[in-house]
Protein backbone atom coordinates (compact mmCIF):
# COMPACT_ATOMS: atom_id res chain seq x y z
CA UNK A 1 0.00 0.00 0.00
CA UNK A 2 2.90 2.35 0.83
CA UNK A 3 4.28 1.86 -2.67
CA UNK A 4 1.11 3.03 -4.40
CA UNK A 5 1.80 6.42 -5.95
CA UNK A 6 -0.30 9.49 -5.25
CA UNK A 7 -1.64 9.46 -8.82
CA UNK A 8 -2.89 5.87 -8.53
CA UNK A 9 -4.40 6.60 -5.10
CA UNK A 10 -6.27 9.58 -6.50
CA UNK A 11 -7.45 7.57 -9.51
CA UNK A 12 -8.78 4.89 -7.15
CA UNK A 13 -10.48 7.46 -4.91
CA UNK A 14 -12.21 8.97 -7.92
CA UNK A 15 -12.96 5.71 -9.74
CA UNK A 16 -14.09 3.27 -7.03
CA UNK A 17 -17.18 5.29 -5.95
CA UNK A 18 -18.17 5.71 -9.61
CA UNK A 19 -17.74 1.98 -10.11
CA UNK A 20 -19.92 1.16 -7.09
CA UNK A 21 -22.54 3.76 -8.03
CA UNK A 22 -22.85 2.69 -11.66
CA UNK A 23 -22.92 -1.03 -10.85
CA UNK A 24 -25.60 -0.58 -8.17
CA UNK A 25 -27.65 1.71 -10.40
CA UNK A 26 -27.37 -0.68 -13.36
CA UNK A 27 -28.32 -3.69 -11.20
CA UNK A 28 -31.36 -1.88 -9.81
CA UNK A 29 -32.42 -0.85 -13.28
CA UNK A 30 -32.06 -4.40 -14.65
CA UNK A 31 -33.85 -5.88 -11.67
CA UNK A 32 -36.71 -3.41 -11.93
CA UNK A 33 -37.03 -3.84 -15.70
CA UNK A 34 -37.03 -7.64 -15.42
CA UNK A 35 -39.69 -7.45 -12.73
CA UNK A 36 -41.82 -5.19 -14.86
CA UNK A 37 -41.50 -7.57 -17.81
CA UNK A 38 -42.40 -10.53 -15.59
CA UNK A 39 -45.35 -8.69 -14.12
CA UNK A 40 -46.53 -7.63 -17.55
CA UNK A 41 -46.55 -11.28 -18.70
CA UNK A 42 -48.34 -12.39 -15.51
CA UNK A 43 -50.92 -9.62 -15.87
CA UNK A 44 -51.46 -10.45 -19.53
CA UNK A 45 -51.87 -14.20 -18.85
CA UNK A 46 -54.24 -13.55 -15.95
CA UNK A 47 -56.27 -11.11 -18.00
CA UNK A 48 -56.62 -13.51 -20.95
CA UNK A 49 -57.51 -16.52 -18.88
CA UNK A 50 -59.88 -14.48 -16.70
CA UNK A 51 -61.60 -13.28 -19.84
CA UNK A 52 -61.80 -16.78 -21.34
CA UNK A 53 -63.34 -18.35 -18.17
CA UNK A 54 -66.74 -16.59 -18.29
CA UNK A 55 -66.65 -16.43 -22.12
CA UNK A 56 -66.29 -20.21 -22.35
CA UNK A 57 -69.39 -20.95 -20.24
CA UNK A 58 -71.70 -21.04 -23.24
CA UNK A 59 -69.18 -23.00 -25.33
CA UNK A 60 -68.76 -25.71 -22.69
CA UNK A 61 -72.53 -25.93 -22.03
CA UNK A 62 -73.42 -26.07 -25.72
CA UNK A 63 -70.40 -28.03 -26.93
CA UNK A 64 -70.51 -25.84 -30.05
CA UNK A 65 -67.19 -26.56 -31.82
CA UNK A 66 -67.38 -23.47 -34.04
CA UNK A 67 -67.76 -21.21 -31.02
CA UNK A 68 -64.93 -23.11 -29.30
CA UNK A 69 -62.56 -22.61 -32.27
CA UNK A 70 -63.51 -18.95 -32.55
CA UNK A 71 -62.81 -18.39 -28.88
CA UNK A 72 -59.45 -20.17 -29.06
CA UNK A 73 -58.47 -18.30 -32.23
CA UNK A 74 -59.18 -14.95 -30.57
CA UNK A 75 -57.11 -15.96 -27.53
CA UNK A 76 -54.27 -17.24 -29.69
CA UNK A 77 -54.10 -13.90 -31.46
CA UNK A 78 -52.96 -12.21 -28.22
CA UNK A 79 -49.29 -11.39 -27.69
CA UNK A 80 -47.11 -14.18 -26.21
CA UNK A 81 -50.02 -16.70 -26.27
CA UNK A 82 -48.55 -19.98 -27.52
CA UNK A 83 -51.46 -22.32 -26.86
CA UNK A 84 -55.07 -22.38 -25.60
CA UNK A 85 -56.96 -25.42 -24.37
CA UNK A 86 -60.35 -26.23 -22.89
CA UNK A 87 -61.12 -29.20 -20.65
CA UNK A 88 -64.45 -30.62 -19.51
CA UNK A 89 -65.46 -31.15 -15.92
CA UNK A 90 -63.59 -34.48 -15.85
CA UNK A 91 -60.37 -32.88 -17.11
CA UNK A 92 -60.71 -34.35 -20.62
CA UNK A 93 -59.37 -32.18 -23.41
CA UNK A 94 -62.21 -30.61 -25.42
CA UNK A 95 -60.18 -28.52 -27.82
CA UNK A 96 -56.72 -27.09 -28.23
CA UNK A 97 -55.13 -24.42 -30.42
CA UNK A 98 -51.43 -23.52 -30.69
CA UNK A 99 -48.25 -25.45 -30.05
CA UNK A 100 -46.65 -27.32 -27.24
CA UNK A 101 -49.36 -27.54 -24.61
CA UNK A 102 -48.04 -29.81 -21.87
CA UNK A 103 -51.22 -30.57 -19.95
CA UNK A 104 -53.44 -29.02 -17.34
CA UNK A 105 -51.47 -27.76 -14.34
CA UNK A 106 -52.02 -30.16 -11.45
CA UNK A 107 -53.17 -27.39 -9.12
CA UNK A 108 -55.82 -26.32 -11.63
CA UNK A 109 -57.98 -29.33 -10.78
CA UNK A 110 -58.40 -27.99 -7.28
CA UNK A 111 -59.73 -24.66 -8.54
CA UNK A 112 -63.36 -24.29 -7.65
CA UNK A 113 -64.03 -20.61 -8.00
CA UNK A 114 -62.83 -17.91 -10.37
CA UNK A 115 -59.23 -17.92 -9.17
CA UNK A 116 -56.29 -18.32 -11.60
CA UNK A 117 -53.53 -20.88 -11.19
CA UNK A 118 -50.13 -19.95 -12.58
CA UNK A 119 -47.30 -22.36 -13.16
CA UNK A 120 -43.96 -22.04 -14.97
CA UNK A 121 -43.24 -25.18 -16.97
CA UNK A 122 -40.88 -25.94 -19.84
CA UNK A 123 -40.04 -22.31 -20.65
CA UNK A 124 -43.70 -21.35 -20.49
CA UNK A 125 -46.07 -19.69 -18.12
CA UNK A 126 -49.26 -21.64 -17.79
CA UNK A 127 -52.44 -19.98 -16.60
CA UNK A 128 -55.56 -22.01 -15.81
CA UNK A 129 -58.95 -21.27 -14.30
CA UNK A 130 -62.21 -23.08 -13.87
CA UNK A 131 -65.11 -22.41 -16.24
CA UNK A 132 -68.16 -21.98 -14.03
CA UNK A 133 -71.82 -22.00 -14.77
CA UNK A 134 -73.38 -19.02 -13.03
CA UNK A 135 -77.18 -19.50 -12.96
CA UNK A 136 -79.58 -17.61 -10.70
CA UNK A 137 -81.23 -19.83 -8.02
CA UNK A 138 -84.93 -19.19 -8.23
CA UNK A 139 -86.31 -21.76 -5.69
CA UNK A 140 -86.96 -19.22 -3.00
CA UNK A 141 -88.95 -16.35 -4.52
CA UNK A 142 -89.45 -14.77 -1.11
CA UNK A 143 -85.78 -13.82 -0.99
CA UNK A 144 -85.55 -10.31 -2.27
CA UNK A 145 -82.12 -10.72 -3.91
CA UNK A 146 -81.13 -13.49 -6.35
CA UNK A 147 -78.54 -16.01 -5.12
CA UNK A 148 -76.02 -17.29 -7.79
CA UNK A 149 -75.56 -21.05 -8.07
CA UNK A 150 -72.10 -22.11 -9.42
CA UNK A 151 -71.19 -25.35 -11.16
CA UNK A 152 -67.79 -26.18 -12.62
CA UNK A 153 -68.16 -26.95 -16.31
CA UNK A 154 -64.45 -27.49 -17.03
CA UNK A 155 -61.22 -25.55 -17.32
CA UNK A 156 -59.55 -23.21 -19.65
CA UNK A 157 -55.76 -23.11 -19.96
CA UNK A 158 -53.53 -20.54 -21.66
CA UNK A 159 -49.78 -20.98 -22.26
CA UNK A 160 -47.62 -17.90 -22.65
CA UNK A 161 -44.34 -18.41 -24.48
CA UNK A 162 -41.90 -16.40 -22.38
CA UNK A 163 -38.78 -17.15 -24.44
CA UNK A 164 -39.16 -13.81 -26.26
CA UNK A 165 -39.50 -12.08 -22.93
CA UNK A 166 -36.39 -13.88 -21.62
CA UNK A 167 -34.58 -12.78 -24.79
CA UNK A 168 -35.70 -9.20 -24.15
CA UNK A 169 -34.42 -9.51 -20.58
CA UNK A 170 -31.06 -10.78 -21.83
CA UNK A 171 -30.83 -7.99 -24.41
CA UNK A 172 -31.71 -5.44 -21.76
CA UNK A 173 -29.04 -6.91 -19.49
CA UNK A 174 -26.46 -6.72 -22.29
CA UNK A 175 -27.42 -3.12 -23.09
CA UNK A 176 -27.16 -2.16 -19.42
CA UNK A 177 -23.82 -3.96 -19.02
CA UNK A 178 -22.51 -2.21 -22.18
CA UNK A 179 -23.75 1.15 -20.91
CA UNK A 180 -22.17 0.51 -17.50
CA UNK A 181 -18.87 -0.42 -19.17
CA UNK A 182 -18.95 2.71 -21.34
CA UNK A 183 -19.67 4.88 -18.30
CA UNK A 184 -16.94 3.12 -16.30
CA UNK A 185 -14.37 3.48 -19.08
CA UNK A 186 -15.26 7.18 -19.29
CA UNK A 187 -15.07 7.52 -15.50
CA UNK A 188 -11.75 5.66 -15.44
CA UNK A 189 -10.33 7.88 -18.19
CA UNK A 190 -11.48 11.00 -16.37
CA UNK A 191 -10.21 9.77 -12.99
CA UNK A 192 -6.88 8.88 -14.57
CA UNK A 193 -6.58 12.29 -16.24
CA UNK A 194 -7.46 14.10 -13.03
CA UNK A 195 -5.09 11.93 -11.02
CA UNK A 196 -2.27 12.54 -13.51
CA UNK A 197 -2.90 16.29 -13.48
CA UNK A 198 -2.21 16.23 -9.73
CA UNK A 199 0.06 13.19 -9.38
CA UNK A 200 2.62 14.15 -12.05
CA UNK A 201 3.32 17.70 -10.77
CA UNK A 202 3.54 16.40 -7.20
CA UNK A 203 5.91 13.63 -8.31
CA UNK A 204 8.03 16.24 -10.16
CA UNK A 205 8.11 18.40 -7.03
CA UNK A 206 9.14 15.44 -4.86
CA UNK A 207 11.93 14.59 -7.32
CA UNK A 208 13.10 18.22 -7.41
CA UNK A 209 13.11 18.45 -3.60
CA UNK A 210 15.17 15.24 -3.40
CA UNK A 211 17.66 16.56 -5.97
CA UNK A 212 17.92 19.83 -4.10
CA UNK A 213 18.44 17.95 -0.82
CA UNK A 214 21.33 16.10 -2.49
CA UNK A 215 22.94 19.45 -3.37
CA UNK A 216 21.69 20.19 -6.89
CA UNK A 217 20.64 23.84 -6.55
CA UNK A 218 20.04 24.29 -10.30
CA UNK A 219 16.94 22.09 -10.23
CA UNK A 220 13.65 23.80 -11.21
CA UNK A 221 10.13 22.54 -12.02
CA UNK A 222 7.92 23.73 -14.86
CA UNK A 223 5.15 25.85 -13.32
CA UNK A 224 2.52 24.82 -15.85
CA UNK A 225 0.10 22.68 -13.88
CA UNK A 226 -3.56 23.05 -14.69
CA UNK A 227 -4.39 23.53 -11.02
CA UNK A 228 -3.87 27.03 -9.64
CA UNK A 229 -2.75 25.70 -6.24
CA UNK A 230 -0.17 23.42 -7.83
CA UNK A 231 1.08 26.26 -10.04
CA UNK A 232 1.51 28.38 -6.90
CA UNK A 233 3.38 25.49 -5.25
CA UNK A 234 5.66 25.06 -8.28
CA UNK A 235 6.31 28.79 -8.56
CA UNK A 236 6.99 28.87 -4.80
CA UNK A 237 9.45 26.00 -5.10
CA UNK A 238 11.26 27.74 -7.98
CA UNK A 239 11.40 31.02 -6.06
CA UNK A 240 12.74 29.18 -3.02
CA UNK A 241 15.31 27.37 -5.19
CA UNK A 242 16.35 30.72 -6.75
CA UNK A 243 16.71 32.25 -3.33
CA UNK A 244 18.75 29.31 -1.96
CA UNK A 245 20.94 29.26 -5.10
CA UNK A 246 21.46 33.02 -4.84
CA UNK A 247 22.37 32.78 -1.15
CA UNK A 248 24.68 29.90 -1.94
CA UNK A 249 26.37 31.88 -4.73
CA UNK A 250 26.71 34.95 -2.51
CA UNK A 251 28.12 32.82 0.29
CA UNK A 252 30.50 31.08 -2.10
CA UNK A 253 31.63 34.44 -3.52
CA UNK A 254 32.20 35.75 0.01
CA UNK A 255 34.13 32.65 0.97
CA UNK A 256 36.27 32.95 -2.17
CA UNK A 257 36.80 36.64 -1.54
CA UNK A 258 37.72 36.01 2.08
CA UNK A 259 40.00 33.13 1.06
CA UNK A 260 41.69 35.32 -1.57
CA UNK A 261 42.00 38.12 0.99
CA UNK A 262 43.52 35.73 3.50
CA UNK A 263 45.88 34.36 0.85
CA UNK A 264 46.84 37.93 -0.09
CA UNK A 265 47.29 38.91 3.55
CA UNK A 266 49.39 35.80 4.14
CA UNK A 267 51.81 36.86 1.37
CA UNK A 268 51.74 40.65 1.65
CA UNK A 269 52.86 43.28 4.08
CA UNK A 270 49.81 45.23 5.25
CA UNK A 271 51.76 48.47 5.71
CA UNK A 272 53.42 48.87 2.32
CA UNK A 273 51.36 46.42 0.26
CA UNK A 274 54.58 44.75 -0.89
CA UNK A 275 54.95 40.95 -0.89
CA UNK A 276 56.24 39.88 2.55
CA UNK A 277 59.03 37.62 3.75
CA UNK A 278 57.03 34.48 3.14
CA UNK A 279 56.38 35.49 -0.47
CA UNK A 280 60.04 36.36 -0.80
CA UNK A 281 61.11 32.88 0.33
CA UNK A 282 58.74 31.24 -2.15
CA UNK A 283 59.93 33.52 -4.95
CA UNK A 284 63.62 32.97 -4.29
CA UNK A 285 63.00 29.19 -4.24
CA UNK A 286 61.23 29.49 -7.55
CA UNK A 287 63.97 31.72 -9.03
CA UNK A 288 66.66 29.29 -7.91
CA UNK A 289 64.86 26.31 -9.46
CA UNK A 290 64.41 28.23 -12.73
CA UNK A 291 68.12 29.14 -12.59
CA UNK A 292 68.98 25.45 -12.25
CA UNK A 293 66.64 24.36 -14.98
CA UNK A 294 67.07 27.11 -17.54
CA UNK A 295 70.28 28.82 -16.44
CA UNK A 296 68.44 32.05 -15.78
CA UNK A 297 70.75 34.48 -13.93
CA UNK A 298 69.32 35.52 -10.57
CA UNK A 299 70.59 38.49 -8.56
CA UNK A 300 69.45 39.14 -5.03
CA UNK A 301 69.61 42.56 -3.36
CA UNK A 302 69.29 42.95 0.40
CA UNK A 303 68.38 46.51 1.38
CA UNK A 304 68.60 47.83 4.94
CA UNK A 305 67.57 51.43 5.46
CA UNK A 306 70.05 53.73 7.18
CA UNK A 307 69.11 56.15 9.91
CA UNK A 308 65.48 55.17 9.91
CA UNK A 309 65.12 55.00 13.67
CA UNK A 310 65.54 58.79 14.19
CA UNK A 311 62.37 59.36 12.15
CA UNK A 312 60.45 57.12 14.49
CA UNK A 313 62.04 58.62 17.53
CA UNK A 314 61.51 62.21 16.40
CA UNK A 315 58.17 62.14 14.60
CA UNK A 316 56.58 59.01 15.97
CA UNK A 317 55.79 55.57 14.66
CA UNK A 318 53.06 56.77 12.30
CA UNK A 319 55.54 59.03 10.51
CA UNK A 320 57.95 56.09 10.30
CA UNK A 321 55.12 54.04 8.73
CA UNK A 322 54.47 56.76 6.18
CA UNK A 323 58.19 56.88 5.29
CA UNK A 324 58.25 53.08 4.86
CA UNK A 325 55.23 53.26 2.53
CA UNK A 326 56.80 56.07 0.45
CA UNK A 327 60.16 54.30 0.15
CA UNK A 328 58.40 51.05 -0.84
CA UNK A 329 56.66 52.95 -3.66
CA UNK A 330 59.95 54.56 -4.65
CA UNK A 331 61.78 51.19 -4.88
CA UNK A 332 58.96 49.58 -6.83
CA UNK A 333 58.84 52.45 -9.29
CA UNK A 334 62.51 52.04 -10.18
CA UNK A 335 62.44 48.35 -10.98
CA UNK A 336 61.78 46.59 -14.29
CA UNK A 337 58.61 44.61 -14.86
CA UNK A 338 60.37 41.25 -14.34
CA UNK A 339 61.94 42.30 -11.01
CA UNK A 340 60.25 41.99 -7.63
CA UNK A 341 60.66 43.89 -4.39
CA UNK A 342 59.68 42.49 -0.95
CA UNK A 343 59.53 43.90 2.55
CA UNK A 344 61.26 41.24 4.61
CA UNK A 345 61.63 43.01 7.96
CA UNK A 346 61.15 46.31 9.85
CA UNK A 347 63.25 48.54 7.58
CA UNK A 348 64.58 45.73 5.39
CA UNK A 349 63.68 45.02 1.77
CA UNK A 350 64.78 42.44 -0.79
CA UNK A 351 64.82 42.61 -4.57
CA UNK A 352 65.06 39.67 -6.96
CA UNK A 353 66.44 40.63 -10.36
CA UNK A 354 65.84 38.12 -13.16
CA UNK A 355 67.78 37.72 -16.39
CA UNK A 356 70.14 40.50 -15.49
CA UNK A 357 73.92 40.68 -16.15
CA UNK A 358 76.34 41.85 -13.45
CA UNK A 359 76.63 45.32 -14.87
CA UNK A 360 72.89 45.82 -15.22
CA UNK A 361 72.36 44.49 -11.72
CA UNK A 362 74.90 46.95 -10.38
CA UNK A 363 73.28 49.69 -12.34
CA UNK A 364 69.83 48.90 -10.90
CA UNK A 365 71.13 48.52 -7.33
CA UNK A 366 72.98 51.82 -7.54
CA UNK A 367 69.94 53.55 -8.96
CA UNK A 368 67.89 52.29 -6.01
CA UNK A 369 70.56 53.37 -3.54
CA UNK A 370 70.77 56.84 -5.12
CA UNK A 371 67.01 57.24 -5.21
CA UNK A 372 66.71 56.49 -1.48
CA UNK A 373 69.65 58.76 -0.68
CA UNK A 374 68.11 61.56 -2.70
CA UNK A 375 64.74 61.17 -1.07
CA UNK A 376 63.86 63.81 1.47
CA UNK A 377 61.29 63.03 4.09
CA UNK A 378 59.64 66.02 5.70
CA UNK A 379 57.90 65.63 9.01
CA UNK A 380 56.88 68.15 11.69
CA UNK A 381 58.75 70.87 9.87
CA UNK A 382 61.93 68.85 9.82
CA UNK A 383 63.67 67.21 6.92
CA UNK A 384 65.08 63.70 7.17
CA UNK A 385 67.48 61.94 4.88
CA UNK A 386 67.67 58.17 5.01
CA UNK A 387 69.92 55.91 3.01
CA UNK A 388 69.97 52.32 1.80
CA UNK A 389 72.80 49.87 2.44
CA UNK A 390 72.51 47.29 -0.34
CA UNK A 391 74.16 43.88 -0.41
CA UNK A 392 74.18 42.14 -3.78
CA UNK A 393 74.64 38.40 -4.48
CA UNK A 394 74.46 36.55 -7.79
CA UNK A 395 73.64 32.89 -8.33
CA UNK A 396 76.84 31.52 -9.75
CA UNK A 397 79.72 29.27 -8.79
CA UNK A 398 79.36 28.10 -5.20
CA UNK A 399 76.33 30.26 -4.65
CA UNK A 400 73.84 27.85 -6.12
CA UNK A 401 71.09 27.34 -3.57
CA UNK A 402 68.59 29.44 -1.67
CA UNK A 403 70.35 29.64 1.67
CA UNK A 404 73.70 30.38 0.03
CA UNK A 405 72.40 33.28 -2.00
CA UNK A 406 70.45 34.70 0.98
CA UNK A 407 73.45 34.42 3.24
CA UNK A 408 75.69 36.03 0.65
CA UNK A 409 73.32 38.98 0.12
CA UNK A 410 72.93 39.42 3.88
CA UNK A 411 76.71 39.36 4.33
CA UNK A 412 77.22 41.93 1.58
CA UNK A 413 74.52 44.18 3.13
CA UNK A 414 76.28 43.97 6.47
CA UNK A 415 79.50 44.99 4.79
CA UNK A 416 77.78 47.93 3.08
CA UNK A 417 76.46 49.07 6.44
CA UNK A 418 79.86 48.84 8.06
CA UNK A 419 81.62 50.40 5.15
CA UNK A 420 79.78 53.65 5.84
CA UNK A 421 76.16 53.02 4.74
CA UNK A 422 74.26 54.18 1.66
CA UNK A 423 76.18 52.09 -0.85
CA UNK A 424 76.06 48.89 -2.88
CA UNK A 425 78.44 46.05 -2.16
CA UNK A 426 78.49 42.81 -4.09
CA UNK A 427 79.27 39.66 -2.23
CA UNK A 428 82.76 38.37 -2.94
CA UNK A 429 83.79 34.92 -1.86
CA UNK A 430 86.90 36.43 -0.24
CA UNK A 431 84.64 38.36 2.16
CA UNK A 432 83.87 35.06 4.06
N1 LIG B 1 57.40 53.07 12.13
C2 LIG B 1 57.80 51.82 12.07
N3 LIG B 1 58.98 51.48 12.62
C4 LIG B 1 59.41 50.20 12.55
C5 LIG B 1 58.66 49.21 11.97
N6 LIG B 1 59.34 48.03 12.07
C7 LIG B 1 60.47 48.29 12.68
N8 LIG B 1 60.57 49.62 12.98
C9 LIG B 1 61.63 50.33 13.60
O10 LIG B 1 62.75 50.42 12.72
C11 LIG B 1 63.90 50.56 13.44
C12 LIG B 1 64.99 49.70 12.85
O13 LIG B 1 66.17 49.76 13.64
P14 LIG B 1 67.54 50.09 13.07
O15 LIG B 1 67.76 49.44 11.78
O16 LIG B 1 68.51 49.78 14.13
O17 LIG B 1 67.48 51.63 12.84
P18 LIG B 1 68.40 52.50 11.92
O19 LIG B 1 68.23 53.86 12.42
O20 LIG B 1 68.00 52.30 10.52
O21 LIG B 1 69.82 51.93 12.17
P22 LIG B 1 70.95 51.71 11.14
O23 LIG B 1 70.47 50.66 10.24
O24 LIG B 1 72.05 51.25 11.92
O25 LIG B 1 71.15 52.99 10.44
C26 LIG B 1 63.54 50.19 14.88
O27 LIG B 1 63.53 51.35 15.70
C28 LIG B 1 62.16 49.61 14.79
O29 LIG B 1 61.40 49.90 15.94
C30 LIG B 1 57.39 49.57 11.43
O31 LIG B 1 56.66 48.77 10.90
N32 LIG B 1 57.03 50.87 11.49
pLDDT exceeds cutoff 60 at 431: no
pLDDT tens by residue, 7-45: 788 778 888 888 889 889 999 999 999 899 889 888 988
Whole-angstrom distance, CA of residue 74 vs CA of residue 97:
10
pLDDT confidence of residue 107: 63
Percent of the chain whose pLDDT exceeds 70: 92
pLDDT confidence of residue 136: 58
pLDDT exceeds cutoff 70 at 2: no
306 is catalytic: no
Residue with the smallest CA separation from ligand 1 atom 16 is 309
Q: 388 alpha carbon to ligand 1 midpoint, in Å? A: 13
Q: With CA atoms as reference, report the closest residue to 297 among 358, 234, 242, 375.
A: 358
pLDDT exceeds cutoff 90 at 414: yes
Q: 266 alpha carbon to ligand 1 midpoint, in Å? A: 22
Class of domain 277-431: alpha beta
pLDDT tens by residue, 69-125: 888 898 889 888 989 988 888 888 888 888 866 666 666 666 666 688 888 877 788
pLDDT exceeds cutoff 80 at 142: no
Kindly indicate whether the ipTM for this predicted assembly is greater than 0.90, answering yes or no.
Answer: yes
User: What string of H, E and C letters represents the secondary structure of the chain?
Assistant: CCCCCHHHHHHHHHHHHHHHHHHHHHHHHHHHHHHHHHHHHHHHHHHHHHHHHHHHHHHHHHCCHHHHHHHHHHHHCCCCEEEEEEEECCCCEEEEEECCCCCCCHHHHHCCCCCEEEEEECCEEEEEEEEEEEEEECCCCCCCCCEEEEEEEEEEEEEEECHHHHHHHHHHHHHHHHHHHHHHHHHHHHHHHHHHHHHHHHHHHHHHHHHHHCCCCCCCCCCCCCCHHHHHHHHHHHHHHHHHHHHHHHHHHHHHHHHHHHHHHHHECCCCCCECHHHHHHHHHHHHHHHHHHCCCEEEEEEEEECCHHHHHHHCHHHHHHHHHHHHHHHHHCCCCCCEEEECCCCEEEEEEECCCHHHHHHHHHHHHHHHHHCEEEECCEEEECEEEEEEEECECCECCHHHHHHHHHHHHHHHHHCCCCCEEECCHHHC
To test the ligand 1 pocket, which listed residue (303, 306, 308, 373) has its Cβ within 8 A of the most ligand atoms? 308
- Report the CATH fold assignment for 6-98+112-137+147-167: Beta-Lactamase (3.30.450)
What ranges do the domains of the chain cover?
6-98+112-137+147-167, 217-267, 277-431
pLDDT confidence of residue 141: 54
pLDDT confidence of residue 258: 96
pLDDT exceeds cutoff 60 at 145: no
Q: 387 alpha carbon to ligand 1 midpoint, in Å? A: 12
Whole-angstrom distance, CA of residue 248 vs CA of residue 243:
8
pLDDT confidence of residue 128: 87
Residue with the smallest CA separation from ligand 1 atom 5 is 346
pLDDT higher for 414 or 132?
A: 414
Q: 345 alpha carbon to ligand 1 midpoint, in Å? A: 9
Question: Ligand 1 atom closest to Cα of 313?
Answer: 27
Q: 394 alpha carbon to ligand 1 midpoint, in Å? A: 27
Instruction: List, chain by chain if needed, residues with CB within 6 Å of any ligand 1 atom.
Output: 271, 304-309, 312, 317, 320-321, 324, 346-347
Question: Ligand 1 atom closest to Cα of 345?
Answer: 6
Mean pLDDT of 280-294: 90
Mean pLDDT of 279-307: 92
pLDDT confidence of residue 62: 82
pLDDT tens by residue, 354-384: 888 999 999 999 999 999 999 999 998 899 9
Q: Which of 304, 339, 347, 410 is catalytic?
A: 347
Residue with the smallest CA separation from ligand 1 atom 14 is 309
Residues comprising the chain, all counted: 432
pLDDT confidence of residue 227: 81
Amino acid sequence: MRKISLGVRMALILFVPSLAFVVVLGSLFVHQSHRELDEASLARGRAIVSFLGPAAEYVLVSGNPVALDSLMARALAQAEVAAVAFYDADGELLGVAGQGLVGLPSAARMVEADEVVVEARGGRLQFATAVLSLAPQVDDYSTPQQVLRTERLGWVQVDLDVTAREGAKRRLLLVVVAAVLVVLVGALAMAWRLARSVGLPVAALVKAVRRMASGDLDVRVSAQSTSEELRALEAGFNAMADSIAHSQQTLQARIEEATAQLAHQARHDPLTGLPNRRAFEESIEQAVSIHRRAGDVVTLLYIDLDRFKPVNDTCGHAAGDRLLRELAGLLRARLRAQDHVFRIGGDEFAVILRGCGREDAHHIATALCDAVAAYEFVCAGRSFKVGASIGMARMEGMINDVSAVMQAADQACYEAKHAGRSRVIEYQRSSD
